[in-house]
Amino acid sequence: MKSKKKMKRKRMKKGMLLAELYRLFTVRRLMTGLFLVAMIAVISVSDLISIDSISWPAELKQSICDQLQITLVFDRYKSLYVIAASICTVTTFPSDIKNHVLPYIRQRTDFDSMMNARLLAIAAYIIVTMITGFLLAGVFLNPFMTIETRGSSLYGIFQPLMNSKAAWIYLVLMSFNLAMSIIPVCYLAAAVAILKPDEYVAVGAGFFVFYLLFYFTEALPWMFSYSSLTSEPGRASVGEVIYHVVFFTICSLAAAKCVKAVMQKRFLNGMD
């Protein structure tokens, strides 16, 4: 009897996760996210490309990895990626609250399953759109620039990759690190959007949460500085790369608990 209940609970959890994934990964949402990320990446290096550069030899072209890495040092571009992610993910919370969808979802499953499925789907969406968006930008920029970087020792353990087409791997790692840093920001923005159900608030909250995190951690050592950890995936050692992932995972789990607490309070207060 207990095993049947467990199997049923597992099927319900899997069904909820698939439903949330299908919801976020519609053609419209996915294309919107990919277009925004790729457009931001291309615009951030647009002053370095020209029609003439297409015919230049590879030795004279700028490196895609070099230039996109430099743009991630500047907060203005990172904040734009946060806004792009928020538009397609965080805005679903105020939309559901306004349309009174959540009570019907809760009739099919428990609170934790509903929230876990939604938060996991958001994380998956952000990772997929950031990585794919950067790769699309790289493909678009490839005629004007080159993926390889020459004579640079700034990439540490990734340096062997950077002198060949394997530099695409570093582009994936760079975008994955950025995605991991954006997930907790979007979660905290979702908490604000639950308190104040409005699509514009949802997008604006992501922007302000991003800058608050950077402001309060800017003076801290690099191990706790959100700005430093977001800029690159860690190059000194494999341990540093792993630390980035662990740090952002812990931040995401803490932010997820915040979202759950706010949503739970909303249900307890009978606001839906």
* Domain assignments of the chain as residue spans, ordered by start: 20-268
Please, what sign has the CA dihedral across residues 19, 24, 25, 27? Answer: positive
- Residue type, position 115, single letter: M
Q: Considering only residues 2 and 231, tell me which one the structure prediction assigns the higher pLDDT.
A: 231
Q: Please return the burial class of 12, using the count of CB atoms within 10 Å of its CB with bins 0-12, 13-18 and 19+.
A: middle
- pTM for this model (two decimals): 0.89
| pLDDT at residue 4 greater than cutoff 60 | no
DSSP 8-state class, residue 198: -
Position 128 scores a pLDDT of: 96
| pLDDT at residue 6 greater than cutoff 80 | no
Question: What confidence tens digit (pLDDT) does each residue in 13-29 have?
Answer: 677 888 888 888 988 99
Q: Considering only residues 51 and 137, tell me which one the structure prediction assigns the higher pLDDT.
A: 137
Portion of the chain with pLDDT greater than 70, in percent = 89
DSSP 8-state class, residue 62: P
CA distance 137 to 41: 6
Grade residue 233 by pLDDT with cuts at 50, 70 and 90. Answer: confident
| pLDDT at residue 1 greater than cutoff 60 | no
Q: Considering only residues 106 and 230, tell me which one the structure prediction assigns the higher pLDDT.
A: 230
What's the distance, Cα to Cα, between the start and end of the chain in Å?
34
As a whole number, the mean pLDDT across the chain is: 85
Residue range 55-70: mean pLDDT, rounded: 80
Grade residue 153 by pLDDT with cuts at 50, 70 and 90. Answer: low
